[in-house]
Amino acid sequence: MTATLILAGLLLTQTAVPAEPQAGTVERTDVAYEAMTQGRTDDAIAQLRAKAGDDPAALINLGTAYARKGMRHEALECYNAAMAAERYDLQLADGSWMDSREAARIAAARLGKGDSLAAR
C-alpha cells in the first residue's frame, strides 16, 4: 500500500463544510474511515457503496478502496463523480483541509502513479 494520503485516512471521519458555508455549518459524515485505516477494504467498500450517492468524501474513499483492490476503472469513476459533485471542504486524515474537487483530482492523478488518496 503506497502513499495512501488516506482521504479515507484523510476524509474518513470527515468534516465537510460547503464551499459556500452558512454560519456554523459543519457536517460530520461516516465515510468508512475506521475500516479504511484498519485495512478492512471490503468492509469499507460495502459501507461506502450504500451511501456514496453524490457525497464527494464517500466517493473519494470508495475510489481509494477500489484502488487498494486493484479496481482502477471503478476507482477512476468514483473520483470523476466526486469532481462533478457539489464542492465541499474536506478534512483529511492529517487534519488539514482541502477542496473536495481538488482532492478528487489529486486522487485520480495518483491512481495513474499507483498511489491513492482517501478522506478522513
pLDDT tens digits along 30-51: 789 889 989 999 999 999 998 8
Give the number of domains in the chain: 1
Lowest-confidence segment of 3-17, 29-43, 106-120 by average pLDDT: 3-17
**Residue 104 to residue 80: CA distance in whole angstroms:** 7
In a domain, 95, yes or no: yes
- The whole-model pTM stands at 0.76
Q: Amino acid identity, residue 58? A: A
Q: DSSP secondary-structure letter at 54?
A: T
Per-residue pLDDT tens over the stretch 13-23: 344 555 555 54
Q: Which of 21, 11, 93 is nearest to 58 (CA)?
A: 11
In a domain, 66, yes or no: yes
8 A C-beta contact, residue 69 and residue 78: no
At residue 12, the pLDDT reads 46
In a domain, 84, yes or no: yes
CATH of the domain at 51: 1.25.40
5 vs 36, more confident? 36
